[in-house]
Chain A
Amino acid sequence: MSVKQISVFLENKPGALKAMTSVLAENEIDMRAFSLAETSDFGIARIIVDDVYKTTTVLKDAGFVHNLTPVVGVVLPDVPGGLDQVLEALAAAQVNIEYMYAFLGGKKDAAYMIFRVADDAKASAALTERGIRLVEADELANL
């Protein structure tokens, strides 16, 4: 079970990120989660949005290079040790994490995290087995 993240290539220069967010704003796209990875000359904006199809279409029209990356969305209790529990499950299943980021879902007592892992199915199974709830695309869209 995975969620579709849109990864967008950006140059690392003033205004590059804004050019992308402007396209999203003009098309009334709501971002659920956002993370940025960068080197000195380029970066990758990773976004989870309410409407994946529309977003990829408008980004393509605006000339942005991007792709869809499957990621695993996880809901965890917003208490000390919450993340530790999730990582414990992934470590036990020998699932390597490429990157991860947290975002606010607007829910009290719950935190949301996105994991990019080497093996989605294995990660999902390991998490579900330990009673950790995964987030579906629908749920993310309606947060």
Chain B
Amino acid sequence: MERYYQPEIETASREQITAWQSERLVRQVRHVWDNVPYYRKKMEEKGVTPEDIKGVEDLRKLPFVSKADLREAYPYGLVAEPLKNCVRIQSTSGTTGKRVVAFYTQHDVDLWEDCCARALVAAGATDEDVCQVSYGYGLFTGGPGLNGGSHKVGCLTIPTSSGNTERQIMFIRDLNATILCCTPSYAAYLGETMKEMGLTPGQIPLKAGIFGAEAWSEEMRRDIEKTLGIKAFDIYGLTELSGPGVAFECSAQNGMHINEDHFIAEIIDPETGEVLPDGQQGELVFTSITKQAFPLLRYRTRDVCVLSHEKCSCGRTHVKMAKPRGRTDDMLIIRGVNVFPSQIETVLLNLGYGANYQIIVDRVNHTDTLDVQVEMTSEMFTDNMGEIAKRQKQIVDGLRSMLGLAAKVTLVAPKSIVRSEGKAVRVIDNRKI
């Protein structure tokens, strides 16, 4: 028997969903027009006023918003509520080092946590469960989002945050954690570690896991399910929209239901901006219709995917999105962290290196690795090994503070990085996802 966190919403008729969307969109457009000069200007440039938006069918009249807008309007330019009404920020890295800072009112936090609660209940969670949240807590949305969702469901929540694998396993075993929330690579790593400790799936109390923030394959799902003896569910989200829980997987495990009462999804042709029909692959665009503090209209996610309105065996009626199949920009997701090659370039240029570098991403033992190869220059070379090691460490430290990730830095011979048509190939992603 399928269980829902908010059954009347999650199984609402298409007519009902469309009615909610229309009403909320009209209100949201008015809200941003009245409160966000940046939006009003964008709409005026396109010749649209709130009167033109009468329902969801008018959505395509609105201008798109992209990461570039977020950068330009940083930090307060897109905030639609007085700061005294805001209670939280969350943040993620953006291009060239500028971070994306998203604002929340208490109402926004509540709705976000509802979305995460829906995902947890879809994964089988009840108030009898013990939910271990091993996503990072802090600016990253993973920990706070699932933590809030877990509270709403009434699970006993263990906020371990990420890292310290030994302690993670201790809590799973000693406190009988039944639900695990973390990145899929960390879930796989926990599974491998427990296997090495001689634990069989039968000895691991976990029964389900919610794993997101990075791409993972069906093979990886099967691996995780087998080693941990659980059902593994995908979850999707962006800090810009709230965080995890924009969409989540149900028992059918073949696509993620988008919470359409909060987010309107469109698929567009990334070149022309034209809206594509259902089932066609394109760039995913979201409009957040219930967010108060940081509403985004037609936000281009750069994720490439497909939507499906086919009836789902779980009984939920909200549209499903397939796992994103790639990006329309050069963003990489490494260990759940958004990484733009331009950020790495900024670190190198600041330290006096040239722009001749290569980023090699791989997945070793289910964990992403980041190797930045930098061509040695005459200016940076010295006969002193210790001095070179020090410079290498400066790059590692610079990358850590820019990305929040530990990277390996390899100094390579000049001109050794493969160039294609004169341009260095910037990114080699060897991960098989």
Partner-B contacts on A (CB < 8 A)? 5, 7, 9-11, 16, 37, 39, 41-42, 44, 46, 63-67, 69, 98, 116
Contacts and interface: CB of A to CB of B under 8 A. Distances in A.
Given A63-B415, A65-B377, A41 B410 contact: yes
B383 A67 contact: yes
Interface of B: 376-378, 381-385, 388-389, 410-416
| Most chain B CB within a 10 A radius of its CB, from A9, A42, A98, A116 | A9
B413 A11 contact: yes
A63 B414 contact: yes
A21 to B, nearest CB: 15
A64 B415 CA distance: 9
A24 B378 CA distance: 19
Secondary structure at the B interface, as helix, strand, loop or mixed, is: loop
Given A44-B388, A67-B382, A98-B384, 20 more contacts: A5-B383, A7-B381, A9-B376, A9-B381, A9-B411, A11-B411, A11-B413, A16-B413, A39-B385, A41-B410, A42-B410, A44-B383, A63-B414, A64-B414, A65-B377, A65-B413, A67-B381, A67-B383, A69-B383, A116-B383
Given A65-B376, A65-B377, A7 B383 contact: yes
A56 B424 CA distance: 27
Contacts of B416: 11
Contacts of B382: 67
A15 to B, nearest CB: 11
Contacts of A39: 385, 389
A10 B413 CA distance: 6
B385 A65 contact: no
Contacts of B377: 65
Contacts of A42: 376, 388, 410-412
A8 to B, nearest CB: 9
18 contacts: A9-B376, A9-B411, A11-B411, A11-B416, A39-B385, A41-B410, A42-B410, A63-B414, A63-B415, A64-B413, A65-B376, A65-B377, A65-B413, A65-B414, A67-B378, A67-B381, A69-B383, A116-B383
Contacts of B383: 5, 7, 44, 46, 67, 69, 116
Nearest to B379: A65
Secondary structure at the A interface, as helix, strand, loop or mixed, is: strand
A7 B378 CA distance: 11
A44 B414 contact: no
| Most chain B CB within a 10 A radius of its CB, from A16, A64, A66 | A64
Contacts of B415: 63
Given A98-B384, A116-B383, A11 B414 contact: no
Contacts of B411: 9, 11, 41-42
Contact of A65 (B378, B384, B389, B410): B378
A98 B411 CA distance: 22
A44 B376 contact: no
A66 B384 contact: no
Nearest to B384: A98
Nearest to A19: B413
3 closest cross-chain pairs (CB), A and B = A7-B383, A69-B383, A65-B381
Contacts of A63: 413-415
A16 B378 CA distance: 18
A44 B385 contact: yes
A11 B412 contact: yes
Contacts of A7: 381, 383
A3 B360 CA distance: 41
A29 to B, nearest CB: 19
Contacts of A67: 378, 381-383
A39 B415 CA distance: 21
A66 B385 contact: no
Nearest to A99: B385
Contacts of A65: 376-378, 381, 413-414
Contacts of B412: 11, 42
Contact of B385 (A10, A16, A37): A37
A133 to B, nearest CB: 25
A39 B392 CA distance: 12
Contacts of B413: 9-11, 16, 63-65
Nearest to B388: A42
A9 B413 CA distance: 7
B174 to A, nearest CB: 40
B189 to A, nearest CB: 24
A35 B81 CA distance: 67
Contacts of B384: 98
B319 to A, nearest CB: 49
